[in-house]
Structure 1
Amino acid sequence: MLKKWEALPDFMKNDEVRVYYNSLQKKKVSMFLKRVMDLVGGVILLIILAIPMGIIAVMIKLDSEGPVFYRQERVTTYGKHFRIHKFRTMVSNADKIGTAVTVGNDNRITKVGSRLRGCRLDELPQVLDLISGNMSFVGTRPEAVKYVEKYKPEYFATLLLPAGITSEASIRYKNEAELLDSADDVDKVYVEKVLQDKMEYNLESIIKFSVFGDLTTMFRTVFAVLGKDYK
């Protein structure tokens, strides 16, 4: 549930965030239903996906050395840090030999990883983050700590809701890696261009937040993965 304004972290208590906070205050029932949907849906998905996830885990171990999961530190509600669950799609310690975002021709990606990323199957373990409450089905994608540290004041409004597995911004930027291919300084282009563009969708989604809207985004995500292009 939404914390009282006085209980928010100091870095979030600014005039820009207040606008979005006031909007969410009027939607407490929807926020409760959102959590119920995440918890119940997460448990059901974990049961359904247990065997497929087990098969994928074996494929990853046979393909390359390293752990099955990629557990990078990310940021979610109210600035809380957590270690996200994703299937490892790159060589071990990839974050130490390159940028925190991935480009299309990234040579750190493994053979199995390339297939998983194409269908977004690397995101399946985030069902564990759904159940824990660190993530939601729909919400701003959890950013790495170093990018959150560069947020403009208004961007902190996205931390009023849990980070999401998908979002309108994710749908619009499903080919983000390819967009960064030609960048000389990937981190700079991501922060100054891509992140700014994505935040417009993220902030708009907070103002328009509803359970029905979340369900619509989930269906749009399925179609986007299947090849539909939303512009």
Structure 2
Amino acid sequence: MKRLFDILASALGLIVLSPVLAVILFLVWRQDGKSPLYKGVRAAKGGGSFEMIKIRSMVAGADKTGVESTGANDMRITPLGHFIRRWKIDELSQLWNVLMGDMSLVGPRPNTVKAVAGYTQNERKLLSVRPGITDMASIVFSDEGDIIKDAEDPDDAYDKLIRPWKSRLGIIYAENNNVLLDIRLIWLTVLAILDKPKALSGVQKVLNRLGADPALISVARRDRPLQPASAP
């Protein structure tokens, strides 16, 4: 049922959004004459890898700098890229990955093969489901770039402040995923763009219903500074 939902929703999304995608792709190409699409190698469900397609929001070749985490003030982000990231437009092209079966509409965000190699045994549960375009962590940490923007080492800041909680949220989803939960999280993702506090409240209700740890629910409120923690 989940796969059928993914196929129908992604196909419809690509058809409906094709005019918007065409305009954005042209504008990105016009900046520098380079491909408007970025293909990044990501870890697949159960192991292996696939090419995740994103609309390019950074300068061409940005992935070759060796820095995987991106702060909001990263100089590699183009002027148009800031707009694309603000409205999550760069994720829309991943509907193709969903249609092809590499990804799902909802699931833990796909990570690099290098990052997955450093997963704890518990974090490897994230590979038990298809990676997704959105999930609870995507809502809770939609401001990920702002969280690490002033860090001297963005990758280290990500590992200490975001990864521990992002992984826990992804594990809870992997253990409880179903179509009804997917529909709920898709709605909360859209709501987060318009009213993040209400979306966070919705995520907290989901976590409460799933019996999540109180500490995780507290972090999901995002009403206090994040503190360094260990990966699950």
* TM category, shorter: 0.7 to 0.9
| Distance in 2 (alpha carbons) for counterparts of 1:70 and 1:125 | 10
| Distance in 2 (alpha carbons) for counterparts of 1:149 and 1:189 | 18
Counterpart pick for 2:19 among 51, 71, 92: 51
Counterpart pick for 1:216 among 180, 184, 190: 184
Return 190-199 or 162-171, whichever deviates more.
190-199
SS in 1 for 2:133: strand
Counterpart pick for 1:76 among 31, 34, 44: 44
Matched residue, 1:29:
none
Structure 1 runs of 4+ aligned residues shifted over 6 Å read: none
| Distance in 1 (alpha carbons) for counterparts of 2:150 and 2:23 | 35
Please give the TM-score of this superposition, normalised by the length of structure 2: 0.82
The answer on 1:143 being equivalent to 2:107 is no
Alpha-carbon contact 1:65-1:92 (below 8 Å) kept: no
The answer on 1:120 being equivalent to 2:88 is yes
Matched residue, 1:25:
none
Q: 1:116-172: per-residue Cα shift (whole Å, max 9, x none)?
A: 110001111101101111000100000111111110011111111100000001100
Q: CA deviation at 1:98?
A: 4.8
Question: Runs of 5+ in structure 2 lacking a partner?
Answer: 201-220, 222-232
Matched residue, 2:137:
169
Matched residue, 1:228:
196
Alpha-carbon contact 1:147-1:191 (below 8 Å) kept: no
Residues matched between the structures, number: 199
SS in 1 for 2:122: helix
SS in 2 for 1:72: strand
Question: Runs of 5+ in structure 1 lacking a partner?
Answer: 1-32
Correspondence list, 1:9-24, <5 A:
none
Correspondence list, 1:150-165, <5 A:
150-165=118-133
Q: CA RMSD in A?
A: 1.2
